[in-house]
Amino acid sequence: MSVADLDGLIAALPKAELHLHIEGSLEPEMMFALARRNRVAIPFASVDEVRAAYRFSRLQDFLDIYYAGAEVLREAEDFADLALAYFDRAAGDNVRHAEIFFDPQTHTARGIPLGVVVEGLLAGMAEAKARHGVSSGLILCFLRHLDEAAALATLREAERFLDRIIGVGLDSSELGHPPGKFARVFARAGAMGLKRVAHAGEEGPPDYVREALDLLHIDRLDHGNRAMEDPALVARLVREGLTLTVCPLSNVKLCVVADMAAHPIPRMLAAGLRVTVNSDDPAYFGGYVNDNFRALAAAGGIGRADLFQLARNSFTGSFLPEADKARHLAAITAVENMPC
Ligand code: ADE
Ligand code: ZN
């Protein structure tokens, strides 16, 4: 299949997005608009200047700028607008379901009440469902550069939103902050009936992935690239059928891989890992989910059968009820059976 044909198939395939930080979908134009609306000073004179600053050599370079950008988010309406802008784009990419991360501590540390963040995001998600028919769920992420007591306090505060959050996650600076640091908070979240996911093996070693499995009891692994350095770990991930939410453009932008041609997704698929393709922080890394698929296809790493597998994995790896998964999987099969 030519790259143009693959691009057509990418556009046509229904898909779920399982690794998207909503704060990472803040486009520079919206950053400026919200800075004006909320009278917040930002250290950039123009949208071009913002984009020029998005040159990273490691995760921390990005995180510093990402947390600074989030300063413009103040009111529930800002969070609703942010979510809706993401879903408008995602719907255009044929995303039918998204499980989105948010970082409450980034906002509560600035005096923004958790209720403002959650209610705003939920309003945007409800409008996206009405406008595009896209379903979604919220995953509350703990910042791993902070301590476990802060994560426990955040979870306690979130208890009143329990019926509106599907799970907890772990993100921010990975190196030096192993998953085991958050074992108790993840145990509590599990006892509360929440799903558990964690970033591991993005920059951190394979042992961090093991800790996420053994100490956090994760239901899904975010990134996981560095698991590929450890064949026994890969075999375990395959055996346990764990879904990996991999983010190709993010990996290139943060120098986790040398270039797209060297991206491990083709090897991950060949090893039998249940891999998915996601955008991570699309406003910062150069594209939304279909841009990620197209970049992989253009680099020659994946073909038609891989695209179907990746789209199916996105629904089987989601936290949707089984009946919904079956409905989305049938829609993928319908695309597969279409005459070319
Ligand atoms: N927060 C937002 N994006 C992230 C990433 N790629 N890794 C860790 N924390 C993040
Ligand atoms: Zn991420």
What's the 171 CA to ligand 1 centre distance in angstroms?
Answer: 5
Residue 203 in any domain: the answer is: yes
Q: Taking the CB of residue 279, how many other CB atoms lie within 10 A of it?
A: 31
How many angstroms separate the first and last alpha carbons of the chain?
Answer: 11
Shortest-distance atom of ligand 1 to CA 247: 6
Catalytic residues: 202
The residue range of the domain holding 313 is 3-27+75-336
Atom of ligand 1 nearest to the CA of 103: 1
Classify residue 110: in a domain, yes or no: yes
**Which residue has a Cα nearest atom 6 of ligand 1?**
280
* Residue 85 in tokens: 């802008």
Residue 105 located in a structural domain: yes
Is residue 269 in some structural domain?
A: yes
In a domain, 54, yes or no: no
Phi-psi region of 291 (alpha: psi -120 to 50; beta: other; left: phi over 0): alpha
Quick one: pLDDT at residue 3? Answer: 85
Please indicate, yes or no, if residue 304 is contained in any of the structural domains.
Answer: yes
Query: In the 3-class helix/strand/coil scheme, how is the chain assigned residue by residue?
Result: CCHHHHHHHHHHCCEEEEEEEHHHHCCHHHHHHHHHHHCCCCCCCCHHHHHHCCCCCCHHHHHHHHHHHHHHCCCHHHHHHHHHHHHHHHHHCCEEEEEEEECHHHHHCCCCCHHHHHHHHHHHHHHHHHHHCCEEEEEEEEECCCCHHHHHHHHHHHHHHHHHCCEEEEECCCCCCCHHHHHHHHHHHHHCCCEEEEEECCCCCHHHHHHHHHCCCCCEEEECHHHHHCHHHHHHHHHHCCEEEECHHHHHHCCCCCCHHHCCHHHHHHCCCEEEECCECHHHHCCCHHHHHHHHHHCCCCCHHHHHHHHHHHHHCCCCCHHHHHHHHHHHHHHHCCCC
Per-residue model confidence as pLDDT tens for the chain (340 residues): 888 899 999 999 999 999 999 999 999 999 999 999 999 999 899 999 999 999 999 999 999 999 999 999 999 999 999 999 999 999 999 999 999 999 999 999 999 999 999 999 999 999 999 999 999 999 999 999 999 999 999 999 999 999 999 999 999 999 999 999 999 999 999 999 999 999 999 999 999 999 999 999 999 999 999 999 999 999 999 999 999 999 999 999 999 999 999 999 999 999 999 999 999 999 999 999 999 999 999 999 899 999 999 999 999 999 999 999 999 999 999 999 988 6
pLDDT value at position 340? Answer: 65
Q: Ligand 2 centroid vs 339 CA: distance in angstroms?
A: 37
Q: Please name which ligand lies nearest the alpha carbon of 280.
A: 2
pLDDT at position 338, please? 87
Q: Total structural domains in the chain? A: 1
Task: Note the ligand closest to the C-alpha atom of 59.
Answer: 1
60 in a structural domain: no
pLDDT of residue 155: 98
